[in-house]
Structure 1
Amino acid sequence: MLPRRQVLGGMAVALASPLMAHAALSIARIAVPGDVADDLPRFLEGRDVATLQHFRGPHARRDVMELAFLLREMHRALPALAVELVRIDSYERLLIELSAGRVDALGTSAWQLDLAQAGTTITRSSALLANGEFVVGMYTAPGNQAALAVRKRAQLKDLTVVSNSAWTADWNTLGKLGLKQVMDVKTWNQMVLMVANRRADLLLAPFPAKPSLELVHEGNTLVPVKGVSVALIGSRHLAAAHTPAGRQIADKIFPALAARVQDGSLRRAYTECGFRNPQTAKWPLINPVRA
């Protein structure tokens, strides 16, 4: 039995209100981290997900936007399919439960390399973010002048970076940058502390959607290395299990998402939610990646 299941009652009504009284109503179990489930209603602020026109707001961010975007497309293409959000806070567990068919689909995107480990037990969508489109910053302590001076890849060779080897895209990307030392640190809290206390020089993190671009975590403030960014290697996709509801999502929703990629509306949503930060959009990549 999966822990901490949450039926998103209001969303189920929004997705399938004409049929909610029928006992045989189909339900899609959509797996999401708990914080995404919590922030979705804050992001919506009473709006009906079915009629969303933009993805801006104080609680907007990439993973919340991806879930809202998915639910909007489900309302349009599968109006009789109700939604149950299954809260799973471990990225690795999300993939395990999907592969086992205990959930029907992911509610936020995952890396292609990780999804490939599931083999033929799942179907993945076309790329929501193509190879190299997931762009992040290099963050350091405000007084770390050596890190703040980095503008070229060669300047990274004597610096220490912290990451988690389980984060395949980050780890693979750092492995190709020619760094002498990448430290395997298992928690985000520990990473931030190590960089803040100058026991490491850098970590990778998405740029926050705020003017200062500062990263603040439990009283510690990190700042971006200005004028340079990093493209993570790999593409990101949604995925569905080979369950009845999962097959409906793969057959009806994944083509709709591919169309939204092609017409630019998904890219616009990534910009509106702050993932594509206009302040850093023209910062050159330290590691240009071919799509």
Structure 2
Amino acid sequence: MRSLAMLLCLCAAPAVLAQTVIREPITEGERGKLDAFINGREILKISDFGSMQLDSVGPVEHFIFRKAVLLGGLDARFENFLVPNSARARELVASGAVCCSGAAQWHLYFQKDAERMFESDEVIGQGGYEKGLYTTKENLARLKLARAEDLRALRAVSSNTWVIDWGTLERLPFRALYSAPTRPQQFSMVKFGRADVTLQDFTANPGMSAEEQGVTLYPVPGVKIALLGTRHFFISRTHPDGPKIYEALQKGLRVMRQSGELRRILVDSGFINRHVRDWTLLNPQTGG
């Protein structure tokens, strides 16, 4: 009789919803910085964003994605899924092999695969993405830039798979433009003199420095470059968890935007950098 009563109680108990496991495509460099920034803390309780670990847009966007999903009401656990670059992440999302992009992507990529993906609201709006020309501390003394014409003596390095960055640099009069697939490789080329500058995100670190694998670079003061386009998170339409993750993400992004937290993360991390507000834009026709 007791066994029957216990069985009836179990049947009557409300079902416990399983936690959603989100395998999030991320590069090795982004993973190291994101994990070091979170450092075991509860994501929803993190409110300080002036960290040396958030010195590029990748870790910043991954954190925004995770917090937005949780704020949107989804009980989720995030697992890092290593990929070599953002192009591979997009392929996995479009195929349904993973549910989301993790880091935001340029809208132009969504246009090519709209039937297979959802696109979130803007994370970074039009005209909101500015970068600096980063070089070694030793080079800062000799690199005096004030206008686009001054770039004619310089060699720049980026990745030709970063379509927006690469296209922006191609329209500027650099002496040479080299491609290296990863940020650490780009930093290394500048360090060893194979390139003079690399196009990188501004940071909140001392001197707005950025670091990769022991190489520290600094922005050439007084000048900046604008990237044209908007950035969004991509969610798979065919992955079983895609629709509910997309719904939670959109809710969370709205909460973060309305509370001002979305902008505060971008500002406090140095991505939107107050110190470069009056710097000369070398490509004003692109920046608008």
TM range (shorter): 0.7 to 0.9
In structure 2, the partner of 1:70 is 65
Query: CA RMSD for the aligned pairs?
Result: 3.0
The SS at the match of 1:212 is helix
**Residue 141 (structure 2) pairs with residue 164 (structure 1):** no
In structure 2, the partner of 1:96 is 91
In structure 2, the partner of 1:120 is 115
Query: 1:48: Cα distance to partner?
Result: 1.7
Runs (5+) with no aligned partner, structure 1: 1-20
- Which of 262, 269, 280 is 2:265 aligned to? 269
**Residue 44 (structure 2) pairs with residue 50 (structure 1):** yes
Q: Distance in 2 between matches of 1:190 and 1:39?
A: 17
Q: Distance in 2 between matches of 1:50 and 1:116?
A: 32
**Residue 243 (structure 2) pairs with residue 229 (structure 1):** no
Q: Distance in 2 between matches of 1:27 and 1:80?
A: 9
Q: Distance in 2 between matches of 1:60 and 1:200?
A: 25
Q: Distance in 1 between matches of 2:135 and 2:93?
A: 36
The SS at the match of 2:190 is helix
In structure 1, the partner of 2:171 is 176
Q: Distance in 2 between matches of 1:88 and 1:188?
A: 14
Query: 1:79: Cα distance to partner?
Result: 3.2
Of stretches 191-200 and 247-256 in structure 1, the one that deviates more from structure 2 is 191-200
Cα distance 1:210–1:175, how it changes in 2: closer, same or farther (>3 A)?
A: same
- Kindly provide the CA deviation profile for residues 15-70 of structure 1, in whole angstroms up to 9, marking residues without a partner as x: xxxxxx95855433332234444444432344321233343345344433333332
Q: Distance in 2 between matches of 1:44 and 1:83?
A: 12
The SS at the match of 1:78 is coil
Instruction: Name the amino acid aligned to 1:269.
Output: I
Of stretches 163-172 and 47-56 in structure 1, the one that deviates more from structure 2 is 47-56
- Kindly provide the CA deviation profile for residues 216-236 of structure 1, in whole angstroms up to 9, marking residues without a partner as x: 555655432111111122221
In structure 2, the partner of 1:205 is 200
- Kindly provide the CA deviation profile for residues 270-289 of structure 1, in whole angstroms up to 9, marking residues without a partner as x: 11223223333332321234
In structure 1, the partner of 2:26 is 32
- Kindly provide the CA deviation profile for residues 72-92 of structure 1, in whole angstroms up to 9, marking residues without a partner as x: 232232334444443324322
Q: Distance in 1 between matches of 2:182 and 2:154?
A: 20
Query: 1:170: Cα distance to partner?
Result: 0.9
In structure 1, the partner of 2:124 is 129
In structure 2, the partner of 1:278 is 274
TM-score normalized with structure 2 length: 0.79
Q: Distance in 2 between matches of 1:215 and 1:41?
A: 17
The SS at the match of 1:105 is coil
Please tell me whether the aligned partners of residues 148 and 226 of structure 1 are also in contact (alpha carbons under 8 angstroms): no
Identity %: 27
- Which of 125, 142, 150 is 2:145 aligned to? 150
Instruction: Name the amino acid aligned to 2:264.
Output: R
Q: Flag the structure with higher helix content.
A: 2
Cα distance 1:145–1:84, how it changes in 2: closer, same or farther (>3 A)?
A: closer
The SS at the match of 1:27 is strand
Q: Distance in 2 between matches of 1:212 and 1:274?
A: 11
